[in-house]
Structure 1
Amino acid sequence: MTALATLIGDFAALLTLDPGNNERLTRWINHARAENLPHLHAFTRDLELDRHAMNAAITQLIHNGRTERVNTKTKLIKRKMYGRAGFPLLRHRILLG
């Protein structure tokens, strides 16, 4: 549990934007794989599969978070209204929200 808590804290520190986070992430992944934590090993494999996106997320200030938030919110409203109303009401709810 101590190793897991340490690794979680170290990963949280990576979420602060810094140009040197690429190397820190590599060291973190190697350290996480050295521990006997199978679920964390699966997480590190997923990080490696999308390493370019992860590097961009932890090193660059520019991201599309706001756009994704609006898309998710629009899809949620659309799913709530499925089969109940047409496009004019959907448009009205999106513009009000």
Structure 2
Amino acid sequence: MGGDQGTGLSPRLRQCPYLRQQDASRQTPTVGLRAPSARAVTRWILTHPDALPEGDLLQLKAVLANPAELTALGEHVLSFRHLVAHLQGDPLPTWIEAATSTTELPSLRSFAQHLERDLDAVTARLTLPWNSGVVEGHVNRIKMLKRQMFGRAGFDLPRERVLLA
């Protein structure tokens, strides 16, 4: 239908620089090498290096080696990941100071400033053994029950269901 009968590609697609034919007998277009997505790079940075496959680790090193901003971002993210993984809240103000002094990375600076606004809560979460996970689980369960009962009955039936669940 308007495409080339031999290759199955339209003339417009044949002009695309990313498509090429590997084998004339197969006649199938393939995609050339692309830069990794931001999501993939984020996943590589946030994953512990021992848990990354060798190919992903090599790609991460190649991505972080190019621009100086990415190298600095990788160092800041890795140090923050270390603070969170080892529950170390005491060095957090030092990390925030280092991140806010980085002028090339406005998004990292913004993240650090948001952490600084609620520094007491973030430090408490990273140093104290308690968390509100159980309470949040109950709130989530009650909201689910409320959504299930919406528009079906008055107040008495959802109340009874929450109390008995």
Matched, 1:53 2:121: yes
Alpha-carbon distance in structure 2 between the residues aligned to 1:27 and 1:88? 53
Map of 2:87 onto structure 1? 17
Count of residues paired in the alignment: 92
Residue identity opposite 2:76 in structure 1: L
Residue 34 of structure 1, CA deviation: 2.1
Q: Which has the higher helix share?
A: 1
C-alpha change, 1:13 and 1:83, in structure 2 (3 Å) is same
Matched, 1:88 2:157: yes
Kept in 2, the 8 Å contact 1:14–1:25? The answer is yes
Q: In the TM superposition, what whole-angstrom CA distance separates every residue of 1:14-43 from its partner, at most 9, and x where no partner exists?
A: 11224xx32x11111111112221122221
Kept in 2, the 8 Å contact 1:17–1:59? The answer is yes
C-alpha change, 1:12 and 1:73, in structure 2 (3 Å) is farther
Alpha-carbon distance in structure 2 between the residues aligned to 1:25 and 1:3? 17
Greater RCO between the two (CA within 8 Å, min separation 6)?
1
Kept in 2, the 8 Å contact 1:78–1:90? The answer is no
Could you tell me which runs of 5 or more consecutive residues in structure 2 were left unpaired when the two chains were aligned: 1-69
C-alpha change, 1:82 and 1:34, in structure 2 (3 Å) is same
Residue identity opposite 2:74 in structure 1: A
Map of 1:41 onto structure 2? 109
Map of 2:140 onto structure 1? 72
Residue 59 of structure 1, CA deviation: 0.4
Map of 2:77 onto structure 1? 8
Looking at CA atoms only, which structure, 1 or 2, has the larger radius of gyration? 2
* Consecutive aligned runs of 4 or more in structure 1 exceeding 2 Å deviation: 84-94
Map of 1:28 onto structure 2? 95
TM-score by length of 1: 0.75
Alpha-carbon distance in structure 2 between the residues aligned to 1:3 and 1:91? 55
TM-score by length of 2: 0.48
Alpha-carbon distance in structure 2 between the residues aligned to 1:69 and 1:11? 26
Residue 11 of structure 1, CA deviation: 1.1
Residue identity opposite 1:2 in structure 2: T
